[in-house]
């Protein structure tokens, strides 16, 4: 492989622009305006994505094959496959945020963006869903309490883009990769999102780079920024504006990941140069959680968070959240746990890493002094997944572009959301997998890790359980696991393949980590994915962007809330140039 998963982690999403190469008329909604990147070689390049949106990872193709939906069978893990059934335990099901919601937010001054990166948090009778550049609040019956709020004006008071009658545009901040968390001790909501500065006239990068953090002032906030404390952490890290000097910077903190323990709130990023090829690995930022909830930001940057890990450099180091305050570890004067993958070559690996940030109680002192250590653990085999197929059906955008139905992007095998509950860390990732009577497809590998930490020796752990989730001849992608305090869990993901339009699905897991159900369809996809990111007219390569990540979280009642992407089939081209939606559901394990 020419690039490692660390570089593949710069998974830029597309935001549509109106370009001369576009071969269809611009619909009334769903198309932005041409912009050029500061990293672009010329000013005349037709760009299929806006500044700050992620580049498409290169195809993972098999030797002697140009089909990105196939990988060689050698070393691929084998699994019998699970049956597909209807769902059980679902008491609430919401059609969540969609491409339509996103594009029409803020009176239409928003970009058309895919895929829907998912943030979900639940508490105090509120369900908050954050997707790309917009968020909404629901009650636990599924009633939407306010119109979707565009993130750019929420963070800064500026629109993402203002389209003028003469065909020009004014660009505002570029925001992406939201996350959301409800703290069970403080009773407050936390949201984060990456922000990049742009030139108002051109949309070019300025070198500004921030991680935005919002903390609700109460347990029942609205979508108004007046109900939240808003913070910005400067992550350009080029030695200016009080930041450390890192290679290739100014940099961006890609896909900020979040977690929390009794003492701290944590953000982990993948640091990439804005203008160059440098990748500086994972960066960790530790905050005094109580201070954030009181209106004051106290942060410690963990400069040792990007060391060599085995033969590579650490990437996508996922901090853990917990469903209740009783789950947090008090070991080593307060400990926050993390998990990460170790596949550095684009092939297969049988190791994962457990991490511990110790002495977190010091975050509330005048001189915080936390320490990060890691331990490599033997695991089941996992590796870079192939692209996913989808059931054939109507694709009006593809037809207008005179292009075939696209495959679905399965990204790579980085570790996804981590939950620390019942004394164990739970997480999963995308992998190539071979089922009994089917071809190699994209599936899920998941892990249940029992960690421990001490001030003297750092972190250690054992893989208490692990397994695969796959359907014969189909693909399962982008897992998230929500875990109750008693360890019972629900995993959510997208199911897609030759027999299924992209659908929201789950499996149930026991407190020991065993799968106890078949693959259960929560929201059946009604049509194929027909989004602009897969089509050459918009700079695509035949593979449409999908998911990037799902979300799952347990609430105080014992219900697990899950959210992921699917195709509702209720809108699409010509009004919009993508047809994705999201499904949010409350499930009793």
Domains in the chain, number: 1
What's the confidence (pLDDT) of residue 483?
Answer: 98
Tens of pLDDT along 210-244? 999 999 999 999 999 999 999 999 999 999 999 99
Under DSSP, the state recorded for 106 is G
Q: 264-273 and 279-288: which strand pairing?
A: antiparallel
What's the confidence (pLDDT) of residue 308?
Answer: 78
Identify whether the C-beta of residue 417 lies closer than 8 Å to the C-beta of residue 256. Answer: no
Identify whether the C-beta of residue 234 lies closer than 8 Å to the C-beta of residue 246. Answer: no
CATH code, 320: 2.130.10.10
d(CA 425, CA 414): 16
Q: Which of 475, 341, 348, 342 is nearest to 76 (CA)?
A: 348
| Residue at token pair 């099901």 | 93
Q: 10 Å Cβ neighbour count for 165?
A: 5
Per-run averaged pLDDT (10 residues), the chain, 589 residues: 29 35 30 25 24 31 39 81 96 97 95 95 98 97 95 97 93 96 98 97 95 98 98 97 96 97 98 94 96 97 75 95 98 98 92 97 96 96 96 98 97 97 98 90 98 96 98 97 97 98 98 98 98 96 97 97 98 97 98
Q: 84-86 and 126-131: which strand pairing?
A: unpaired
d(CA 327, CA 36): 47
What's the confidence (pLDDT) of residue 16?
Answer: 43
d(CA 172, CA 258): 25
Residue 117's domain comprises 5-587
Identify whether the C-beta of residue 280 lies closer than 8 Å to the C-beta of residue 306. Answer: yes
Instruction: Name 144's bridge partners.
Output: 138
Under DSSP, the state recorded for 5 is H
Could you tell me which residues come within 8 angstroms of residue 308 by beta carbon, excluding any fewer than 6 positions away?
A: none
Q: Is the omega angle on the peptide bond into residue 115 within 30 degrees of 0, that is, cis? A: yes
Cβ burial of 35 (10 Å; 0-12, 13-18, 19+) is buried
Indicate the pTM of the whole model: 0.90
d(CA 362, CA 147): 40
What's the confidence (pLDDT) of residue 24?
Answer: 34
The CA-atom distances, in angstroms, between 86 and each of 89, 188, 268, 521, 523 are 10, 35, 36, 5, 9
Name the 3-class secondary structure at 365: coil
Cβ burial of 547 (10 Å; 0-12, 13-18, 19+) is buried
Q: Which of 576, 537, 550 is nearest to 406 (CA)?
A: 537
d(CA 458, CA 340): 16
d(CA 587, CA 86): 13
Q: Which of 118, 156, 157 is nearest to 134 (CA)?
A: 118
* Tokens coding 179: 């996350």
What's the confidence (pLDDT) of residue 306?
Answer: 58
Going across the sheet that includes 519-523, the strands are: 84-86, 519-523, 500-509, 489-497, 474-483
d(CA 377, CA 18): 48
Backbone angles phi, psi at 318, to 5 degrees: -85, 115
| Residue at token pair 């400067």 | 234
| Residue at token pair 């194929």 | 528
Under DSSP, the state recorded for 32 is B
Identify whether the C-beta of residue 258 lies closer than 8 Å to the C-beta of residue 320. Answer: no
């Amino acid at each position: 492989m020419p690039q490692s998963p660390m570089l593949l982690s710069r998974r830029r999403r597309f935001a549509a622009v109106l370009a001369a190469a576009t071969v269809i008329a611009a619909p009334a909604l769903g198309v932005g305006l041409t912009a050029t990147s500061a990293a672009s070689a010329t000013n005349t390049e037709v760009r299929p994505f806006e500044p700050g949106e992620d580049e498409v990872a290169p195809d993972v193709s098999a030797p002697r094959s140009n089909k990105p939906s196939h990988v060689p069978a050698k070393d691929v893990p084998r699994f019998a496959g699970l049956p597909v059934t209807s769902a059980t335990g679902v008491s609430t099901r919401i059609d969540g945020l969609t491409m339509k919601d996103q594009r029409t937010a803020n009176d239409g001054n928003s970009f058309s963006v895919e895929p829907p990166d998912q943030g979900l948090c639940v508490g105090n009778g509120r369900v908050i869903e954050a997707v790309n550049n917009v968020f909404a609040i629901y009650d636990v019956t599924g009633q939407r309490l306010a119109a979707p709020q565009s993130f750019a004006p929420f963070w800064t008071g500026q629109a993402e883009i203002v389209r003028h009658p003469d065909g020009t545009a004014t660009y505002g901040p570029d925001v992406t990769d939201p996350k959301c968390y409800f703290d069970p001790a403080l009773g407050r909501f936390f949201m984060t999102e990456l922000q990049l500065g742009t030139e108002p006239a051109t949309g070019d990068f300025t070198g500004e780079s921030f991680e935005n953090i919002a903390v609700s002032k109460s347990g029942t906030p609205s979508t108004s920024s007046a109900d939240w404390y808003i913070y910005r952490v400067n992550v350009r890290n080029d030695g200016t504006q009080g930041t450390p000097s890192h290679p290739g910077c100014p940099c961006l903190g890609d896909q900020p990941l979040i977690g929390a323990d009794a003492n701290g709130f944590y953000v982990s990023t993948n640091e990439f140069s804005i203008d160059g090829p440098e990748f500086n690995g994972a960066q960790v930022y530790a905050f005094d959680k109580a201070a954030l909830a009181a209106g004051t930001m106290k942060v410690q940057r963990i400069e040792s968070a990007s060391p060599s890990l085995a033969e590579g450099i650490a990437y996508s180091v996922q901090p853990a959240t917990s469903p209740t305050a009783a789950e947090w570890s008090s070991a080593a004067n307060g400990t926050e746990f993390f998990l990460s993958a170790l596949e550095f070559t684009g092939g297969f690996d049988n190791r994962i890493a457990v991490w511990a940030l110790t002495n977190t109680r010091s975050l509330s002192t005048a001189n915080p002094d936390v320490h990060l250590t890691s331990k490599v653990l033997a695991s089941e085999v996992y590796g870079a997944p192939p692209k996913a197929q989808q059931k054939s059906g109507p694709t009006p955008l593809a037809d207008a572009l005179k292009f075939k139905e696209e495959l679905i992007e399965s990204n790579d095998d980085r570790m996804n959301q981590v939950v620390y509950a019942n004394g164990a860390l739970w997480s999963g990732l995308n992998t190539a997998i071979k089922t009994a009577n089917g071809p190699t497809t994209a599936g899920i590998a998941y892990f249940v890790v029992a960690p421990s930490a001490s001030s003297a020796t750092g972190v250690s752990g054992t893989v208490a359980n692990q397994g695969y989730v796959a359907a014969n001849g189909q693909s399962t992608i982008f897992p998230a696991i929500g875990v109750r305090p008693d360890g019972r869990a629900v995993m959510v993901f997208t199911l897609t393949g030759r027999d299924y339009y992209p659908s929201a699905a789950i499996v149930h897991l026991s407190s020991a980590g065993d799968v106890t159900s078949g693959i259960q369809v929560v929201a059946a996809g009604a049509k194929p994915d027909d989004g602009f990111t897969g089509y050459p007219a918009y700079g695509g390569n035949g593979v449409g962007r999908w998911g990037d990540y799902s979300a799952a979280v347990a609430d105080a009642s014992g219900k697990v809330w899950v959210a992921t992407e699917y195709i509702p089939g209720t809108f699409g081209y010509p009004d919009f140039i993508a047809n994705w939606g999201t499904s949010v559901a409350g499930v009793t394990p």
